[in-house]
Amino acid sequence: MLRHIIHYGIHFLVPILIALYFFKDNKIKVALILLAGIVIDLDHLFATPLFDPDRCSIGFHPLHSVWAVLVYSLLPFFKPTRLVGLALLLHIIADIADCLLM
């Protein structure tokens, strides 16, 4: 139970808290961008079985690969892609936490 609270808390609560605390002027827009990081879970649609609660996403799904994470790690260094990169890295952090708590 704690594993799921931490995993989904990082996915949904942390982006909102970051938007509220660091981006007061654009909190709604930033929160939506950060929450949109969940879109990389679309690669789960290509897995068999579609959902496996005991499978670590990191390294298994294409958008959760080491190469993808390396690209995501570069995005925050450029202003136009900063928020998207943060969103994707938050997603990866949530999934790493989930893997560690398995």
The distance from CA 40 to its chain's CA centroid, rounded to whole angstroms, is: 8
Distance of CA 33 to the CA centre of its chain: 11
Q: Tokens in use for 2?
A: 């704690």
Q: Which pLDDT belongs to residue 43? A: 95
Distances (CA, A) of 82 to 8, 33, 77: 22, 11, 6
For residue 22, what are the contacts with CB-CB under 8 A and spacing of at least 6? 30
| Token duo for residue 11 | 């996915």
Q: pLDDT tens digits for 16-64?
A: 999 999 999 999 999 999 999 999 999 999 999 988 989 999 999 999 9
Query: pTM for this structure?
Result: 0.94
